Structure 1
């Protein structure tokens, strides 16, 4: 590297904001590099990144690094679970192992290295049109670019505010994991010239992570057990490969580390300013023309479509995390989509029963539309997994179903009342349904956690029904002053109890069965 070339090594530069444990002594910087993050992971409570998709991507990179440092990247020798338990008992990562990893990988973790910049492809400087780069406003995913709407601020493409190298590193990860499909910078590789990319492996998904009292616990709990055939010599991260990736050949996913880090569909190259502290431009384009499978990601809830195809549960900023809890704690949760528990939760409780669950995601479509970040946490619940608590765990699913049932009935009831009251052509979303959802779901979440904490499941149906009734009455109250409104609200109220009673089928020689109101 030329002596005057800009450099920004992620092991040393303070680019990761953290929260320190209250009892921690010594200097407590607001941000640290990878080396200090790992050496002091037992003194750090959380990584304090406010960008959920960036934290989701960084967690995956940290899991891969932790697996290498602890040698938990392979199933043997000996019992993998026992080896992780021994590491947990030690209470911190081995300092010598951390230093050895940092020293041997140092060059590959420089953000601006001219030959192998971290998670970038230096070939883009000549494979793409240098006069038609993406620009920093495109790189920073929270900024508007082109004709897209502004989220947090207005920017000017002609005079952009240069992001710091630390900010650029976080958005580099967002692009690799959550990047959109569609139009990108044109890239020419051999005889192939194209200007469109496929969506990133986590695009529009919700990712679930176990979190402990320290980052050290979080990293160990986040390691799923590797398969018995996994070998670290083949299970390579991008920075461990001798050569830059061949765009015509899909990367080999040989185990935990490559699964976590080698699924990107985008290629990027950051252009630093002279100081190396800011990024002044960026190339963003495609990395592979074929889709890299995202099956097997250990942090997603996998569901089955009506056609029988697996797909990850999408991020939904309107859906509270408690509604996913049974799919995270149960081996076979209920539901027509046949959800599968994320693999990481089958062993995470072995590190600690006091682990929380953190949900991180990005509600977005497959292409350019971004809707909302998703970031939510539960109280410590890993002690309620099916393996540890077979009595309580099944009740979680039943409690969730009851809460969702009355939420759906309430939604149907207020939509029907509005349609009848306004003489609408069809039952659809309306002012009342938005108001009802805003009232019901936060209250239902509080009721869910209260009953789960008290292990009180016997009268849950009555409580959720009464909650739905109260919200219905509050939302429709102003319409009751007219005969038309009172009639519409009275007719639609039956939807709270499952809809109008169906007439019994009469057969010769039998009496119709008596009907009883539901949940009385």
Structure 2
């Protein structure tokens, strides 16, 4: 296959899950992977994406949101009511075929994975071949985020930078997207522009953040629910995706500021990447250039799929991805317009209108627990049952109950942590004794059961408005979470209660589960 023939509109690179009743071809087998064109054309036959890497899943959804907005005409506010036009696409049961055909035909040349002879490869910068040192590239092990590279430890697989296993084109494309959205700050491959060589990059727009997406029973519902109404001033001729640019941006100039939803979804990368195909098999990637996209400045960080909150210093930042934090603990911030909390969390804007597509939408959380620079810790991927019917605008009475259940669940989790820590330090007679082992075991026992308790009580809430208390019993809920904390505490500390010192330490620390020893009021 010649390199110029690998077009992402047609080549099968996106893993999907098909609906059981999806029409099958003559041979009876539906493909595991399909191209962008078929994803858009058959979105109603697809349950969802099957991307195994959560940050790649998150990035690909943003690409598909932008394409969906383009082919439906929902990239601009008018003509007519935006919500009604979106609803029409849902009622049609498919994205408009004419819109899909005309848009993809117009930009077909910009979706080639490789573009020799001066072309524009998709989401890449061909200038890197001349501006970077071909003898000192990042390499394919650096490109694939699950691989060890350089002097890093090998956790899941062994590899060598001198003789790496070449990734397939589908694997390389998904990791290309991870770099654009979640790439680190700090030192990267050197790039020389206008006689000046530098090797420092700014972090990607989603680095460290957890991304929340409404999810329907079909990919069509998911994509339509993921769109947000554009401002009335947005014009598609200005609000462009990278593959729509007439010219590549100037690396020496300040990065262009996104002017609408499509550019915010796709054109906020701070990294420049170029993939090099294997000469013998264009289905494999032999080399990768990864470097900075703009020498100075940073694209304003804004995204409609993040929970934004305020730091103690008054700075706005997205809620970070935390692999130890279950999704139910964020639920009130997703369903309520103004959830309680010192950090003043702001509901992701996408949930302002997502429920109009369906009240049975779930929430999918996708992210990458990582630091601003090089350290990556763990992927984050979580999903709720259908919850959008409980959003505050639809069921205002349930909102305080959801918030209170979350608060109680977290309160007893924190009390449990303090209790086992105090039990250990008292038993060891050392205030600085490391109680991490006990804390981890207690958390492993408590949080999964607390999550199950939360969802059981959540499903019992009445959102019809017929019950004034929406079926929420604060006392019973408090008692249920306390019981789980007590059980975890007893299990973790049981090994030391056979001695008098241990029994006394555990008995004293147990008070933390109930709020700790009350301080006596000073008499005047």
In the alignment, the residues of structure 2 paired with residue 426 and residue 345 of structure 1 have an alpha-carbon distance, to the nearest angstrom, of 45
1:19 to 17, 20, 33: 17
In the alignment, the residues of structure 2 paired with residue 451 and residue 131 of structure 1 have an alpha-carbon distance, to the nearest angstrom, of 60
Alignment check: 8 A CA contact 2:368 2:376 kept: yes
1:255 to 255, 260, 267: 260
Q: Who is 1:514 aligned against?
A: none
> How high is the TM-score relative to the length of structure 1?
0.95
Write out the 4+ residue segments of structure 1 that deviate beyond 6 Å after TM superposition. Answer: none
Aligned residues: 505
Instruction: State the Cα distance separating 1:25 from its structure 2 match.
Output: 1.8
Q: Who is 2:91 aligned against?
A: 89
Say if 2:266 is the partner of 1:268: no
1:457 to 447, 472, 480: 472
Instruction: State the Cα distance separating 1:6 from its structure 2 match.
Output: 4.2
In the alignment, the residues of structure 2 paired with residue 355 and residue 5 of structure 1 have an alpha-carbon distance, to the nearest angstrom, of 41
Higher mean displacement: 474-483 or 418-427: 418-427
In the alignment, the residues of structure 1 paired with residue 79 and residue 101 of structure 2 have an alpha-carbon distance, to the nearest angstrom, of 23
Q: Who is 1:513 aligned against?
A: none
Say if 2:38 is the partner of 1:31: no
In the alignment, the residues of structure 2 paired with residue 48 and residue 453 of structure 1 have an alpha-carbon distance, to the nearest angstrom, of 27
Q: Who is 1:340 aligned against?
A: 346
Cα displacement string for residues 216-243 of structure 1 (whole angstroms, at most 9, x for unaligned residues)? 0000000011111111111011110100
Instruction: State the Cα distance separating 1:427 from its structure 2 match.
Output: 6.3
Higher mean displacement: 422-431 or 164-173: 422-431
> How high is the TM-score relative to the length of structure 2?
0.95
Q: Who is 2:464 aligned against?
A: none
Q: Who is 2:124 aligned against?
A: 120
2:384 to 365, 378, 387: 378
Instruction: State the Cα distance separating 1:246 from its structure 2 match.
Output: 1.0
In the alignment, the residues of structure 2 paired with residue 4 and residue 256 of structure 1 have an alpha-carbon distance, to the nearest angstrom, of 35
Q: Who is 2:495 aligned against?
A: 478
Instruction: State the Cα distance separating 1:506 from its structure 2 match.
Output: 2.4
Q: Over the residues paired in the alignment, what is the CA RMSD in angstroms? A: 1.3
Instruction: State the Cα distance separating 1:107 from its structure 2 match.
Output: 0.6
Cα displacement string for residues 228-267 of structure 1 (whole angstroms, at most 9, x for unaligned residues)? 1111111011110100111122123100000001111100
SS in 1 for 2:102: helix
Alignment check: 8 A CA contact 2:205 2:301 kept: no
Alignment check: 8 A CA contact 2:255 2:299 kept: no
Q: Who is 2:444 aligned against?
A: 438
SS in 1 for 2:95: coil
Stretches of structure 2 lacking an aligned partner (at least 5 in a row):
462-470
Stretches of structure 1 lacking an aligned partner (at least 5 in a row):
508-520
SS in 2 for 1:481: coil
Q: Who is 2:148 aligned against?
A: 144
Q: Who is 1:416 aligned against?
A: 422
Instruction: State the Cα distance separating 1:392 from its structure 2 match.
Output: 1.1
Alignment check: 8 A CA contact 1:6 1:272 kept: no
Q: Who is 1:512 aligned against?
A: none
SS in 2 for 1:171: helix
Q: Who is 1:9 aligned against?
A: 7
Higher mean displacement: 36-45 or 469-478: 469-478
In the alignment, the residues of structure 2 paired with residue 327 and residue 209 of structure 1 have an alpha-carbon distance, to the nearest angstrom, of 13
Cα displacement string for residues 191-224 of structure 1 (whole angstroms, at most 9, x for unaligned residues)? 4310111111111110000010000000000001
SS in 2 for 1:425: coil
1:223 to 217, 220, 227: 227
Closer, same or farther: CA 124–428 of 1 in aligned 2, 3 Å: same
Q: Who is 1:67 aligned against?
A: 69
Instruction: State the Cα distance separating 1:429 from its structure 2 match.
Output: 4.0
Q: Who is 1:515 aligned against?
A: none
Cα displacement string for residues 321-351 of structure 1 (whole angstroms, at most 9, x for unaligned residues)? 0000110110001111100000000100000
Alignment check: 8 A CA contact 2:41 2:100 kept: yes
Cα displacement string for residues 370-419 of structure 1 (whole angstroms, at most 9, x for unaligned residues)? 11000010001100000111111221111100000000000000001000
